[in-house]
Amino acid sequence: MTNSILHLGLMEDGDIELDLAALELAALDHPGIDLDEYSDELAGIELALRAADGDAAGSVAQAQALSSVLAEEFGFSGDRAHYDDPQNADLTAVVDRRLGLPISLSILYVAMARRLGWSAMPLNTPGHVLVCLG
């Protein structure tokens, strides 16, 4: 994995690979961590999504495919018991624990959608983070 975090300011928002950027940010708190295993895990999620319904047409079908793979197959969910736990904002910990904040989970949903060429973006609303598909 290359160190591209320094170049984020020069990119268009849609060109940023959110999941990889979030991993690089998390690595700042974990000197010596091997991000390749996390990149491989994300690639595995992408493959599962492609196999589940990578050709989904329309935002409803895409949302269903994302939910089926990320929540049901891989077990990602919000940490309702310890919402304030700092691990919920660290993408390496989120991948390890399968628990995270809505923003962390939104990063995964948007990144996976974009990997399949689907239009997706996070929407910051008061008190919530939503994912807009299509």
- Tell me the per-residue pLDDT of 120-130, one tens digit each, with 9 for 90 and over: 998 988 888 89
Whole-model pTM: value is: 0.86
* 3-class SS string, 25-73: HHHCCCCCCCCHHHHHHHHHHHHHHHHHHCCCCCHHHHHHHHHHHHHHH
In tens, the pLDDT along 11-21 reads: 566 577 889 99
Taking the CA atoms of residue 87, residue 127, residue 106 and residue 38 in that order, the dihedral angle to the nearest 10 degrees is -10
pLDDT of residue 9: 54
pLDDT category at 55 given cuts 50, 70, 90 is confident
Angle at 96 between CA 90 and CA 100, to 5 degrees: 45
- How far is the C-alpha of 68 from the C-alpha of 5, rounded, in Å? 31
Q: Residue ranges per domain, the chain?
A: 39-133
Per the model's pLDDT, the better-predicted residue between 14 and 69 turns out to be 69
Region 100-113: mean pLDDT is 95
Identify the bridge partners of residue 132 per DSSP, sorted by sequence position: 121
- How far is the C-alpha of 124 from the C-alpha of 100, rounded, in Å? 16
In angstroms, how far is CA 61 from the centroid of its own chain? 18
Taking the CA atoms of residue 39, residue 77, residue 105 and residue 125 in that order, the dihedral angle to the nearest 10 degrees is 180
